[in-house]
Structure 1
Amino acid sequence: MLRLFRYVALVEGITTLALFLVAMPLKYVFDNPVLIRPVGMIHGIAFLAYIAVMLFVLPGRGFGALGWIRTTLAAFFPFGTFLNDPYLRRREAALSALRRV
């Protein structure tokens, strides 16, 4: 399940980059806002999916208050989901090791 959350976080991060690095420069530098609406909508859906999957997956998997705060804040900052991924990968490995024992 944590792997699903990591995939959703990756999509959320990619849509953020698409919005900031493609759609917004196209609008503000080239005066062409054609991608703002579709990319913004996709990013909004990805953000909501991130929050929903986080609320579904994280409980009961050993995430303390700091882990919850870190993972929540990652969605609000550009590159945050990418910077948080090694933490999630370590948590996933730890949970996997516990299941094998």
Structure 2
Amino acid sequence: MTRDNYRDIELAQLRRLEFASLVEGTTLLFLLVIAVPLKHLYGWPTGVRFMGPVHGLAFFAYLWFTVQTVTGGGWRMCEIARVVICAFIPFGAFFNRTLLSRKMASIRNGKKS
């Protein structure tokens, strides 16, 4: 396998992680901002019954893509911790975009960050 192939694989993994991060963050916000208030303020638990499992799946997919991506190497422990911790914080997934964008730019430029 050539160096370009490895670079393309790394970029694809980072794009998948970025997408999974956005999906996970969005489902968490829907759950916290829409579904939970509807349940507690208006007695409508259907939103939580639907969004809870959707967010759970998105969360586990995000963790899976995180493990796949960081095992490729080139990640510092503080970056790994940041990516994982951001999954537990509302809007945290959106803060990951800067880190992931920086990593993708570094790979495109031929450097490891």
TM-score of the superposed pair, with normalisation by structure 2? 0.83
1:3 offset after TM fit, Å?
Answer: 0.6
1:16 aligns with 2:28: yes
- For residues 32 and 38 of structure 1, the distance between their equivalents in structure 2, rounded to whole angstroms, comes to 11
Structure 1 counterpart of 2:82: 70
1:2, 1:58 within 8 Å by CA — same for their partners in 2?
A: no
Aligned mate of 2:100, from 73, 88, 92: 88
TM-score of the superposed pair, with normalisation by structure 1? 0.92
Structure 1 counterpart of 2:62: 50
**Letter in structure 2 aligned against 1:30:** Y
- For residues 79 and 18 of structure 1, the distance between their equivalents in structure 2, rounded to whole angstroms, comes to 11
1:13 offset after TM fit, Å?
Answer: 0.4
Please list every run of 5 or more consecutive structure 1 residues that lacks an aligned counterpart in the other structure: none
What's the CA shift string for 1:50-99, capped at 9, x where partnerless? 00110011223411011011111011111111112111111111112117
SS class of match (1:98)? coil
> Which structure: larger Rg?
2
1:43 offset after TM fit, Å?
Answer: 0.1
- For residues 63 and 96 of structure 1, the distance between their equivalents in structure 2, rounded to whole angstroms, comes to 16
**Aligned residue pairs: how many?**
99
Runs of 4+ that moved beyond 4 A:
none
1:4 aligns with 2:35: no
Percent identical across equivalent pairs?
35
1:13, 1:81 within 8 Å by CA — same for their partners in 2?
A: yes
2:24, 2:59 within 8 Å by CA — same for their partners in 1?
A: yes
